[in-house]
Amino acid sequence: MKFFTEIIKLIRVKQWIKNLFIFMPAFFAGSFFEKEIYLNSIYAFLSFCIASSSIYILNDYVDIEKDKMHPKKRFRPLASGTISKLQAKIILVVLLSILALFLFVIVPTVKYIILGYIVLNIAYSFKLKQIAIIDILVIATGFVMRVFAGGFATGIEISKWLILLTFFLSLILALAKRRGEINSSGDKSRAALKGYSLPFIDILITMMSSITFVSYIMYVTSDDVIAQFKSDYIFISALFVLLGILRYLQQTIIFNNTESPTKVIYKDGVIQSSLILWILFFCYIIYF
């Protein structure tokens, strides 16, 4: 049982929440509950989960010696020795084999997006994560690729607003993560951290937060979006977005609590509430 728990930690199941971005095109198109669209989204989601878990294993394998010296990462399965290098290789091969099976049943374009995601993240694991600015752009690109995967898997046209909002929002998450890493490792053990400072990151986070919220306001007040959702009250959803952004900035700048963005989302009641209210609001507007 303990070994199974360590495998769950190794493949980082909790990080699969990021892959929910795949469902956004179907959700906003009002087609989420159509069987074929739903199944195609599920296939894309599972494929991305397996692909991202494979990358996490590779990343931990590459960084095993550095992680052993990190105050928190030393407890990861590979760094702590609860899973050996050989076992990690076997798990990686199993995951890639399962992924290969999924690639036979998903839409060809999605297959290329997933393969592109893997190649990009291999480059990230070995080199790009060591280059400041480039590292967060790669992370943001990964989120956008998830949205594209969801769109192509279902044949739904992706809104340019959805792409922009995903990119800017993921930049906020990536910057907050870097800020947390600087606070937890003052020696800047990760090479890319040498290209950041707290004032610099705070400026970038403020900038990205402002752009994200303004973009969202423009999105919910645009004539084509109002016509699409057949509602003049969609702008109300901006309140939930503002609450979520402000709370995340508080967790980042005041409480220094965003080294792991997904952990914040899982634990913070305010962010969870704003996200749930936002989803319920759109569910009502789109489906009811």
Q: Which domains does the chain show, CATH number per domain?
A: 2-287 (1.10.600)
Q: What is the predicted pLDDT for the residue at 200?
A: 95
Residue 237's pLDDT band, with cuts at 50, 70 and 90, is very high
Helix axes 85-103, 2-11, angle to 10 degrees: 60
Instruction: Look at residue 186 and tell me whether its pLDDT is greater than 70.
Output: no
User: Which tokens is 178 given?
Assistant: 């870097």
SS (H, E, C) 111-126: HHHHHHHHHHHHHHHH
Percentage of the chain with pLDDT > 70? 98
Least confident stretch, 21-25, 42-46, 73-77? 73-77
Q: What's the rounded Cα separation, in Å, for the pair 216 and 237?
A: 9
Residue 181's pLDDT band, with cuts at 50, 70 and 90, is confident
| Burial status of residue 169 (CB atoms within 10 A of its CB: 0-12, 13-18, 19 or more) | buried
Q: Comparing C-alpha atoms, which of 34, 256, 265, 87 is closest to residue 169?
A: 265
Q: Comparing C-alpha atoms, which of 9, 11, 4 is closest to residue 52?
A: 11
Q: What is the predicted pLDDT for the residue at 2?
A: 82
Q: For the chain, what is the radius of gyration of the CA atoms? A: 19
Q: What's the rounded Cα separation, in Å, for the pair 170 and 139?
A: 7
Q: What is the predicted pLDDT for the residue at 192?
A: 83
Residue 57's pLDDT band, with cuts at 50, 70 and 90, is very high
